[in-house]
Amino acid sequence: MDPYQNIRAGERGAWASIAAYLLLSGIKLAAGYVLSSSALTADGYNNLSDIAASAAVLIGLRISRKPPDKDHPYGHFRAETIAALIASFIMAMVGLQVLIDAGRSITAGDRAAPDPASAWIALGAALVMLGVYAYNRRLAARIRSQALMAAAKDNLSDALVSVGAAAGIFGSQFGMPWLDPVAAVAVGLLILKTAWGIFYSSTHTLTDGFDEKELETLRGTIERTKGVRRIKDIKARIHGSNVLIDVIIQVDPELSLIESHQISDEIERRMERRHNIANVHVHVEPYEEPSASRTEGT
Protein backbone atom coordinates (compact mmCIF):
# COMPACT_ATOMS: atom_id res chain seq x y z
CA MET A 1 0.00 0.00 0.00
CA ASP A 2 1.16 3.53 -0.82
CA PRO A 3 2.24 5.12 2.49
CA TYR A 4 1.12 8.54 1.30
CA GLN A 5 -2.37 7.23 0.54
CA ASN A 6 -2.39 5.70 4.02
CA ILE A 7 -1.56 9.07 5.57
CA ARG A 8 -4.42 10.72 3.68
CA ALA A 9 -6.75 8.05 5.03
CA GLY A 10 -5.41 8.71 8.54
CA GLU A 11 -6.32 12.38 8.20
CA ARG A 12 -9.97 11.40 7.91
CA GLY A 13 -9.75 9.75 11.33
CA ALA A 14 -8.18 12.87 12.84
CA TRP A 15 -10.95 15.02 11.37
CA ALA A 16 -13.58 12.64 12.78
CA SER A 17 -12.06 13.03 16.26
CA ILE A 18 -11.90 16.82 15.98
CA ALA A 19 -15.54 17.07 14.89
CA ALA A 20 -16.72 14.82 17.74
CA TYR A 21 -14.67 16.70 20.34
CA LEU A 22 -15.90 20.11 19.15
CA LEU A 23 -19.50 19.01 19.50
CA LEU A 24 -19.15 17.15 22.79
CA SER A 25 -16.93 19.67 24.58
CA GLY A 26 -19.41 22.46 23.89
CA ILE A 27 -22.34 20.38 25.12
CA LYS A 28 -20.54 19.14 28.25
CA LEU A 29 -19.14 22.50 29.33
CA ALA A 30 -22.49 24.24 28.90
CA ALA A 31 -24.42 21.44 30.60
CA GLY A 32 -21.84 21.12 33.38
CA TYR A 33 -22.19 24.80 34.20
CA VAL A 34 -25.99 24.89 34.00
CA LEU A 35 -26.50 21.57 35.82
CA SER A 36 -23.74 22.17 38.44
CA SER A 37 -21.70 19.07 37.62
CA SER A 38 -17.95 19.34 38.16
CA ALA A 39 -17.45 15.83 36.74
CA LEU A 40 -19.19 16.74 33.47
CA THR A 41 -17.29 20.03 33.33
CA ALA A 42 -13.99 18.19 33.83
CA ASP A 43 -14.99 15.81 31.05
CA GLY A 44 -15.67 18.81 28.82
CA TYR A 45 -12.21 20.23 29.49
CA ASN A 46 -10.80 16.82 28.68
CA ASN A 47 -12.47 17.00 25.27
CA LEU A 48 -11.05 20.49 24.77
CA SER A 49 -7.55 19.11 25.25
CA ASP A 50 -8.39 16.37 22.80
CA ILE A 51 -9.22 18.95 20.12
CA ALA A 52 -5.69 20.34 20.42
CA ALA A 53 -4.21 16.84 20.54
CA SER A 54 -6.13 15.68 17.47
CA ALA A 55 -5.19 18.88 15.65
CA ALA A 56 -1.53 18.15 16.43
CA VAL A 57 -1.95 14.64 15.01
CA LEU A 58 -3.60 16.08 11.89
CA ILE A 59 -0.75 18.58 11.37
CA GLY A 60 1.79 15.81 11.87
CA LEU A 61 0.06 13.66 9.26
CA ARG A 62 0.01 16.56 6.82
CA ILE A 63 3.75 17.14 7.27
CA SER A 64 4.38 13.39 6.90
CA ARG A 65 2.91 13.57 3.39
CA LYS A 66 5.76 15.77 2.20
CA PRO A 67 8.03 13.83 -0.19
CA PRO A 68 11.75 13.22 0.54
CA ASP A 69 14.10 16.14 -0.05
CA LYS A 70 17.79 16.93 0.40
CA ASP A 71 17.45 17.38 4.16
CA HIS A 72 15.10 14.41 4.63
CA PRO A 73 16.13 11.59 2.28
CA TYR A 74 13.93 9.14 4.21
CA GLY A 75 10.91 11.44 3.97
CA HIS A 76 9.04 13.24 6.75
CA PHE A 77 7.17 10.27 8.20
CA ARG A 78 8.38 10.84 11.76
CA ALA A 79 6.44 14.09 11.91
CA GLU A 80 3.35 12.14 12.97
CA THR A 81 5.27 10.58 15.87
CA ILE A 82 6.42 14.03 16.98
CA ALA A 83 2.81 15.19 16.74
CA ALA A 84 1.72 12.36 19.03
CA LEU A 85 4.43 13.42 21.49
CA ILE A 86 3.15 17.01 21.46
CA ALA A 87 -0.38 15.72 21.98
CA SER A 88 0.75 13.87 25.11
CA PHE A 89 2.12 17.12 26.58
CA ILE A 90 -1.17 18.92 25.89
CA MET A 91 -3.17 16.14 27.54
CA ALA A 92 -0.89 16.11 30.59
CA MET A 93 -1.32 19.87 31.13
CA VAL A 94 -5.10 19.61 30.98
CA GLY A 95 -5.09 16.55 33.24
CA LEU A 96 -3.19 18.46 35.90
CA GLN A 97 -5.60 21.40 35.62
CA VAL A 98 -8.59 19.08 36.03
CA LEU A 99 -7.02 17.60 39.19
CA ILE A 100 -6.41 21.09 40.63
CA ASP A 101 -9.99 22.19 39.95
CA ALA A 102 -11.40 18.95 41.38
CA GLY A 103 -9.30 19.35 44.52
CA ARG A 104 -10.66 22.85 45.03
CA SER A 105 -14.19 21.52 44.60
CA ILE A 106 -13.62 18.78 47.20
CA THR A 107 -12.28 21.23 49.77
CA ALA A 108 -15.09 23.71 49.15
CA GLY A 109 -17.99 24.15 51.55
CA ASP A 110 -21.53 23.05 50.80
CA ARG A 111 -22.07 21.33 47.51
CA ALA A 112 -25.40 20.65 45.89
CA ALA A 113 -25.92 17.40 44.02
CA PRO A 114 -25.72 17.93 40.23
CA ASP A 115 -28.81 17.51 38.09
CA PRO A 116 -29.18 13.83 37.06
CA ALA A 117 -29.69 14.98 33.46
CA SER A 118 -25.94 15.63 33.33
CA ALA A 119 -25.33 11.89 33.82
CA TRP A 120 -27.42 11.01 30.77
CA ILE A 121 -25.49 13.58 28.74
CA ALA A 122 -22.24 11.93 29.81
CA LEU A 123 -23.52 8.48 28.84
CA GLY A 124 -24.64 9.75 25.43
CA ALA A 125 -21.20 11.25 24.88
CA ALA A 126 -19.61 7.94 25.83
CA LEU A 127 -21.57 6.15 23.09
CA VAL A 128 -20.47 8.73 20.53
CA MET A 129 -16.80 8.36 21.49
CA LEU A 130 -17.00 4.56 21.40
CA GLY A 131 -18.14 4.85 17.80
CA VAL A 132 -15.26 7.22 16.94
CA TYR A 133 -12.83 4.89 18.73
CA ALA A 134 -14.00 1.85 16.75
CA TYR A 135 -13.62 3.75 13.47
CA ASN A 136 -10.15 5.13 14.24
CA ARG A 137 -8.87 1.86 15.67
CA ARG A 138 -9.79 -0.11 12.54
CA LEU A 139 -8.35 2.59 10.30
CA ALA A 140 -5.11 2.88 12.31
CA ALA A 141 -4.59 -0.89 12.25
CA ARG A 142 -5.17 -1.00 8.49
CA ILE A 143 -2.75 1.80 7.63
CA ARG A 144 -0.29 1.04 10.47
CA SER A 145 -0.43 4.57 11.86
CA GLN A 146 0.96 5.02 15.36
CA ALA A 147 -0.33 8.58 15.61
CA LEU A 148 -3.89 7.61 14.69
CA MET A 149 -3.75 4.59 17.01
CA ALA A 150 -2.75 6.96 19.83
CA ALA A 151 -5.74 9.12 18.91
CA ALA A 152 -7.96 6.03 19.00
CA LYS A 153 -6.71 5.14 22.48
CA ASP A 154 -7.53 8.68 23.54
CA ASN A 155 -11.03 8.22 22.08
CA LEU A 156 -11.49 5.09 24.21
CA SER A 157 -10.24 6.79 27.37
CA ASP A 158 -12.69 9.63 26.73
CA ALA A 159 -15.56 7.16 26.52
CA LEU A 160 -14.48 5.58 29.81
CA VAL A 161 -14.06 9.01 31.40
CA SER A 162 -17.64 9.91 30.44
CA VAL A 163 -18.90 6.64 31.95
CA GLY A 164 -17.00 7.41 35.17
CA ALA A 165 -18.42 10.92 35.25
CA ALA A 166 -21.95 9.54 34.87
CA ALA A 167 -21.34 7.07 37.70
CA GLY A 168 -20.18 9.89 39.98
CA ILE A 169 -23.19 12.02 39.13
CA PHE A 170 -25.65 9.20 39.73
CA GLY A 171 -23.94 8.42 43.03
CA SER A 172 -24.26 12.01 44.17
CA GLN A 173 -28.04 11.67 43.92
CA PHE A 174 -27.97 9.29 46.90
CA GLY A 175 -26.83 11.79 49.50
CA MET A 176 -23.15 11.74 48.47
CA PRO A 177 -22.54 15.04 46.58
CA TRP A 178 -18.81 14.68 47.22
CA LEU A 179 -18.81 11.72 44.84
CA ASP A 180 -19.11 14.06 41.83
CA PRO A 181 -15.81 15.94 42.39
CA VAL A 182 -14.17 12.63 43.34
CA ALA A 183 -15.21 11.35 39.92
CA ALA A 184 -13.56 14.48 38.47
CA VAL A 185 -10.31 13.42 40.18
CA ALA A 186 -10.62 10.05 38.49
CA VAL A 187 -11.08 11.88 35.17
CA GLY A 188 -7.88 13.86 35.72
CA LEU A 189 -5.89 10.75 36.64
CA LEU A 190 -7.13 8.90 33.57
CA ILE A 191 -6.14 11.83 31.35
CA LEU A 192 -2.62 11.73 32.85
CA LYS A 193 -2.42 7.95 32.39
CA THR A 194 -3.36 8.21 28.72
CA ALA A 195 -0.88 11.06 28.22
CA TRP A 196 1.92 8.98 29.79
CA GLY A 197 1.14 6.01 27.55
CA ILE A 198 1.31 8.14 24.40
CA PHE A 199 4.47 9.88 25.64
CA TYR A 200 6.22 6.57 26.33
CA SER A 201 5.25 5.06 22.99
CA SER A 202 6.34 8.17 21.06
CA THR A 203 9.71 8.53 22.79
CA HIS A 204 10.37 4.80 22.40
CA THR A 205 9.81 5.13 18.66
CA LEU A 206 11.82 8.35 18.30
CA THR A 207 14.80 6.72 20.04
CA ASP A 208 14.64 3.78 17.58
CA GLY A 209 13.12 1.37 20.08
CA PHE A 210 11.50 -1.72 18.60
CA ASP A 211 9.45 -4.56 20.07
CA GLU A 212 11.68 -7.61 20.69
CA LYS A 213 8.94 -10.16 19.99
CA GLU A 214 8.07 -8.54 16.68
CA LEU A 215 11.75 -8.48 15.74
CA GLU A 216 11.97 -12.23 16.42
CA THR A 217 8.97 -12.78 14.16
CA LEU A 218 10.67 -10.86 11.37
CA ARG A 219 13.88 -12.82 11.95
CA GLY A 220 11.97 -16.09 11.61
CA THR A 221 10.51 -15.07 8.25
CA ILE A 222 13.97 -14.23 6.90
CA GLU A 223 15.57 -17.38 8.31
CA ARG A 224 13.01 -19.54 6.50
CA THR A 225 13.85 -17.93 3.15
CA LYS A 226 15.45 -20.42 0.78
CA GLY A 227 19.19 -19.82 0.46
CA VAL A 228 19.68 -18.08 3.82
CA ARG A 229 22.22 -20.05 5.84
CA ARG A 230 22.41 -17.71 8.82
CA ILE A 231 21.40 -14.25 9.99
CA LYS A 232 24.44 -12.44 11.27
CA ASP A 233 22.60 -9.35 12.45
CA ILE A 234 19.15 -7.78 12.17
CA LYS A 235 17.86 -4.37 13.25
CA ALA A 236 14.51 -2.66 12.85
CA ARG A 237 13.10 0.76 13.62
CA ILE A 238 9.86 2.63 13.07
CA HIS A 239 9.73 5.62 10.77
CA GLY A 240 6.27 7.12 11.10
CA SER A 241 3.92 4.35 10.02
CA ASN A 242 6.70 2.45 8.23
CA VAL A 243 9.11 -0.19 9.51
CA LEU A 244 12.71 -0.06 8.31
CA ILE A 245 14.80 -3.24 8.49
CA ASP A 246 18.57 -3.72 8.15
CA VAL A 247 19.68 -7.34 8.00
CA ILE A 248 22.97 -9.10 7.33
CA ILE A 249 22.54 -12.61 5.96
CA GLN A 250 25.11 -15.27 5.19
CA VAL A 251 24.73 -17.50 2.13
CA ASP A 252 26.63 -20.27 0.37
CA PRO A 253 29.95 -18.72 -0.74
CA GLU A 254 29.75 -20.66 -4.01
CA LEU A 255 26.68 -18.74 -5.12
CA SER A 256 27.03 -16.19 -7.90
CA LEU A 257 26.32 -12.50 -7.44
CA ILE A 258 23.06 -12.90 -9.35
CA GLU A 259 21.95 -15.83 -7.17
CA SER A 260 22.74 -13.90 -3.98
CA HIS A 261 20.81 -10.94 -5.32
CA GLN A 262 17.83 -13.20 -6.01
CA ILE A 263 17.82 -14.29 -2.37
CA SER A 264 17.76 -10.64 -1.30
CA ASP A 265 14.85 -9.97 -3.64
CA GLU A 266 12.95 -12.94 -2.21
CA ILE A 267 13.48 -11.64 1.34
CA GLU A 268 12.07 -8.27 0.31
CA ARG A 269 9.04 -9.91 -1.33
CA ARG A 270 8.33 -12.09 1.72
CA MET A 271 8.59 -9.17 4.15
CA GLU A 272 6.18 -7.08 2.10
CA ARG A 273 3.75 -9.95 1.51
CA ARG A 274 3.68 -11.29 5.08
CA HIS A 275 4.36 -8.19 7.18
CA ASN A 276 3.52 -5.27 4.86
CA ILE A 277 7.10 -4.01 5.16
CA ALA A 278 8.57 -2.56 1.98
CA ASN A 279 11.74 -0.96 3.40
CA VAL A 280 14.28 -3.77 3.78
CA HIS A 281 18.04 -3.34 3.34
CA VAL A 282 19.78 -6.70 2.89
CA HIS A 283 23.55 -7.09 3.11
CA VAL A 284 24.93 -10.44 1.89
CA GLU A 285 28.08 -12.13 3.22
CA PRO A 286 29.58 -15.58 2.52
CA TYR A 287 28.83 -18.26 5.08
CA GLU A 288 31.83 -19.95 6.69
CA GLU A 289 31.58 -23.24 8.55
CA PRO A 290 33.39 -23.07 11.92
CA SER A 291 36.58 -25.11 11.51
CA ALA A 292 37.54 -27.84 13.99
CA SER A 293 40.86 -26.17 14.81
CA ARG A 294 39.15 -22.86 15.51
CA THR A 295 36.63 -24.61 17.75
CA GLU A 296 39.39 -26.41 19.67
CA GLY A 297 41.35 -23.19 20.07
CA THR A 298 38.42 -21.52 21.76
Between residues 145 and 219, which one has the greater pLDDT?
A: 219
Count helices and strands in the chain by DSSP H and E runs: 9, 3
Considering the chain, what is the average pLDDT of its residues? 84
Q: Letter for the amino acid at 217? A: T
Q: What sign does the CA torsion over 67, 71, 73, 79 have?
A: negative
DSSP structure string for 193-242: HHHHHHHHHHHHHHTT---HHHHHHHHHHHHTSTT--EEEEEEEEEETTE
Q: How many residues are present in the chain?
A: 298
Q: How confident is the model at residue 50 (pLDDT cuts 50, 70, 90)?
A: confident
Residue 127: pLDDT over 90: yes
| Gap between the Cα atoms of 128 and 159, Å rounded | 8
Residue range 233-253, pLDDT digits in tens: 999 998 877 889 999 999 999
Looking at residue 39, its pLDDT comes to 72
Residue range 179-207, pLDDT digits in tens: 767 777 887 888 888 889 889 988 998 99
Element (H, E) at 12: helix 3-34
Residue 298: pLDDT over 70: no
Looking at residue 293, its pLDDT comes to 45
